Amino acid sequence: MTHDLSVPAIDAAASLFAKARLEHAIVEGLPPELTPKNIREAYAIQAKLAEKLGWEIGGWFCGCTNRAIQEQLGLAEPYCAPLFRHLIHQGPAVLDTRDFAPIVLECEFSFILARDLPARGQPYALDEIKAAIATVHPSIEVVAGTLKDWQHQPAFTIVADNGVDGALVLGAGNTNWRDHDLAHVPVELSIDDDLVQKGYGANILGNPLNALLWLANEQRKRGNGLSAGHVYNTGTATLMQPVKAGEQAIASFGPLGLVELRLI
């Protein structure tokens, strides 16, 4: 018979992750007595981690909205985690690899809202989500949590480590995004001018807008809302791409433009 994690266990797990983030250190993994066994416990650790870090939240991000990534991590549905404001960068950006664990890149559609989507009893509909969007941005998520060999860690431990996010690089915003079917927008990632990944918006729950809808309703169920001016990235259109210091990444989102990142 299993038992829920205790409040002290949740606090201890969050303390391990917070210490590692502040010291740019690596967590080998959580001991069994601190390992979340379900998404509820993972989110409890994640929330306590954010509280301990005390960093301003500038949005939320979706993880595991791509079927291939779900299969790789063994999750049947997406998850979400806070996006910390000081880790949101405008492209072209330069990031120091010494500030992160080993990095992989994901190419994501990011949204900034023109108005709030507050918590409420009734689920949001897709038309309401579309009406609230101000701009759509090409973006690169820098995936780099604190877990050693994180892709082989238990799925709920990954979620607890704030979804192993590192940073987000935003390209210019598009106000004319309604002129394009986001599901069919091609996404290509090049490293040092070599094309290494290709995908489409459809790889994100069929359409990145579906991921934003999922996020709004997931937050709604948890008594939270989405805020105007905040950034919401919706999961990757491509497979994860390892990168290292000295490399330059350019992600092309067809008619939505480019976003650039250089690693030192």
Residue 217 counted as domain residue: yes
Assign 3 a pLDDT band (cuts: 50, 70, 90): low
Mean pLDDT lowest among 55-64, 74-83, 103-112, 175-184? 74-83
Per-residue model confidence as pLDDT tens digits over 87-101: 999 999 999 998 888
Residue 142 counted as domain residue: yes
Per-residue model confidence as pLDDT tens digits over 221-244: 988 999 999 999 999 999 999 999
Q: Is 24 exposed, middle or buried (0-12, 13-18, 19+ CB in 10 A)?
A: exposed
Residue 29 counted as domain residue: no
Alpha carbon dihedral 211, 202, 238, 217, in 10-degree steps, equals 0
Closest-CA residue to 139 (of 104, 94, 169):
169
Coil/strand/helix, residue 231: strand
CA-angle at 46, arms to 42 and 48, nearest 5°: 120
Using the predicted structure, report yes or no on whether residue 60 has a pLDDT greater than 70. Answer: yes
Using the predicted structure, report yes or no on whether residue 250 has a pLDDT greater than 70. Answer: yes
Mean pLDDT lowest among 89-98, 149-158, 192-201? 149-158
What percentage of residues in the chain have a pLDDT greater than 90? 83
Instruction: Tell me phi and psi for residue 189, to 5 degrees.
Output: -115, 125
Mean per-residue pLDDT over the chain, rounded: 93
Using the predicted structure, report yes or no on whether residue 2 has a pLDDT greater than 60. Answer: no
* Contact indicator for 37, 154 with CB cutoff of 8 Å: no
Residue 46 counted as domain residue: no
* Contact indicator for 7, 42 with CB cutoff of 8 Å: no
Task: Please give the Cα distance from 151 to 158 (Å, whole number).
Answer: 8
Token representation of residue 235: 């999961």
Assign 1 a pLDDT band (cuts: 50, 70, 90): very low
Residue 33 counted as domain residue: no
Using the predicted structure, report yes or no on whether residue 253 has a pLDDT greater than 80. Answer: yes
Residue 199 counted as domain residue: yes
pTM over 0.85: yes
Segment 189-209 mean pLDDT: 96
Residue 255 lies in domain? 55-263
What total number of domains does the chain contain? 1
User: What's the CATH code of the domain at 104?
Assistant: 3.90.850.10
Assign 72 a pLDDT band (cuts: 50, 70, 90): confident
Residue 20 counted as domain residue: no
Residue 41 counted as domain residue: no
